[in-house]
Amino acid sequence: MKSLDGVNIQIAIIEPGAYATGFNQENFNKKFEWMQNKSYFKYKWQDIKNKEEKVFNFIEKKNFNSIVKQYIKAVEDKKLKHRYTAPKSQAFFIQLGRIFGM
């Protein structure tokens, strides 16, 4: 985009956190299908799945208002920010991870 001279196009990243859309759950389940048959974790997969499922259920947001507000803000901002994230609680921990190289 930088090579387009004289064109004023602003670009932003909109990063939704973990929302209960079903997409994360689908990927989550595929991982354990593989573990059941072809992995070192073949006898431990159920314990791992139960622990990870508790974490997902805790962090996944059911209400989408926070990310919808970020989309609207990105569209309406006169001076676009580089990144819009939601929910704020997850965005904070993601940013910490970036800072510490995680």
Nearest to 97 by CA among 25, 22, 24, 17: 17
Whether 25 and 15 map to the same domain: the answer is no
Tokens found for residue 66: 């926070």
Question: In terms of residues, how long is the chain?
Answer: 102
Look up the domain containing 70 and give its range: 1-19+65-102
| Beta carbons of 79 and 28 less than 8 angstroms apart | no
43-60: average pLDDT:
88
Quote the number of domains for the chain.
2
- Cα separation, 78 vs 10, in Å, equals 10
Q: Are residues 56 and 69 in the same domain?
A: no
Q: What is the pLDDT of residue 55?
A: 84
**pLDDT mean over 73-97:** 86
Residue 15 sits in the same domain as residue 25: no
Q: Same domain for 27 and 51?
A: yes
Residues 13 and 37 in one domain: no
Is the pLDDT at 85 greater than 80, yes or no? yes
* 4 or 33: which leads in pLDDT: 33
Task: In whole angstroms, give the CA distance from residue 86 to residue 95.
Answer: 12
* 86 & 55 share domain: no
Bigger pLDDT: 23 or 68? 68
What pTM, to 2 d.p., does this model score?
Answer: 0.63
* Element (DSSP H or E) covering residue 86: strand 83-86
Please tell me whether residues 93 and 81 are part of one structural domain. yes
User: What pLDDT score was predicted for residue 102?
Assistant: 63
Contact 22, 60 (CB under 8 A): no
Question: pLDDT at residue 1 above 70?
Answer: no
